[in-house]
Amino acid sequence: MPILFVFIDIGLIVPILIAVAFVTLLERKIMGAMQRRKGPNVVGIDGFLQAFADGLKLFVKESIIPSAANKKIYTISPILTLFLSFIGWAIVPFKENVTHTDINIGILYALAISSLGVYGIICSGWASNSKYSFLGALRSAAQMISYEVSLGLIILTVLLMVGSLSLIKIVLLQFYIFLITPLFISFIMFFISSLAETNRAPFDFPEAESELVSGFSTEYAAMGFAFFFIGEYANMLLMCAFTTILFLGGWWALLTIILLPEEFWFGMKITALIFVFVWVRVALPRFRYDQLMRLGWKSFLPASLGKYIFVGSSFLAIDAFA
């Protein structure tokens, strides 16, 4: 098996950074349209270069480290968050023969990287030596751990259906029917859990501006804040990619061979999910924290466990009567 960390090259990082830039622009444009305002429209043609201007602004700003902070951990935390958001893309198959690293335990790798993501946030909140940052970090740790349980059970249900841990095989087995059809409820729970896992509205408690100023990133500026920002949107894109792979057939589409390449359909499905992410942010207010925990532990956990038991029992029954 190749060393996974070798994947960090220009050919993968640059497209992710460009995608993050245009996703931020798309989000601001969609939010502007839904709120009946223009959104970014000054830098470039109709605001096309606004995201690059924002990135340049953060790059040239002075990095300030609080005097009471643990400087080493404070500096490493955003780098760790960004690094983990990049290495998760190493196993994403854009089509059958287009992936950086094809491993037969891709799902386990994805779960491992997802579980490590909380360390960058909890370390940044503790190292900042700020009450707001520390509270935001604790909220994020509890939130991500709570919803990873449901995500794991939903993924296990998918694995029961396809019988493989390889992401490419999961997509190939959806040629005739997408798994969203038999597992529609699991798809809805997976998508909502993805919102909570990436700290997106209405579950943006770690960054609750009305309560915690800016949460775990309150004391960060310039490139430290930019790394957290890029990591959040890269993780959002990554969760949309995994949702597409697990439930929406990956690169498969009815018109794949006739009209457009497979990578186009994969990208369009991710874009559609990103639109729903933004739509939810605009339409729904933030939940209370007790509602977030109740939804995860008292609704999604029993429902995902019940779905897993039902699917497993169904296959056992089919084998028994076959």
Record the pTM.
0.91
Q: What is the pLDDT of residue 155?
A: 94
Label residue 75 exposed, middle or buried (CB < 10 Å: 0-12, 13-18, 19+).
Answer: middle
Q: What is the pLDDT of residue 243?
A: 95
Each residue of 271-313: pLDDT tens digit?
999 999 999 999 998 888 889 899 999 999 999 999 999 999 9
Each residue of 104-121: pLDDT tens digit?
888 989 988 888 888 888
Q: What is the pLDDT of residue 211?
A: 64
Which residues, given as ranges, of the chain have pLDDT below 70? Answer: 1-9, 208-213, 254-258, 322
Q: How far apart, in Å, are the Cα atoms of 18 and each of 12, 15, 159? A: 10, 5, 32
Token pair, residue 233, equals 């949107």
- C-alpha dihedral (157, 160, 166, 171), degrees to nearest 10: -80
Give the H/E segment covering residue 17: helix 10-34
Q: How many residues does the chain have?
A: 322
Domain segments of the chain: what residues? 4-321
Q: What is the pLDDT of residue 258?
A: 59
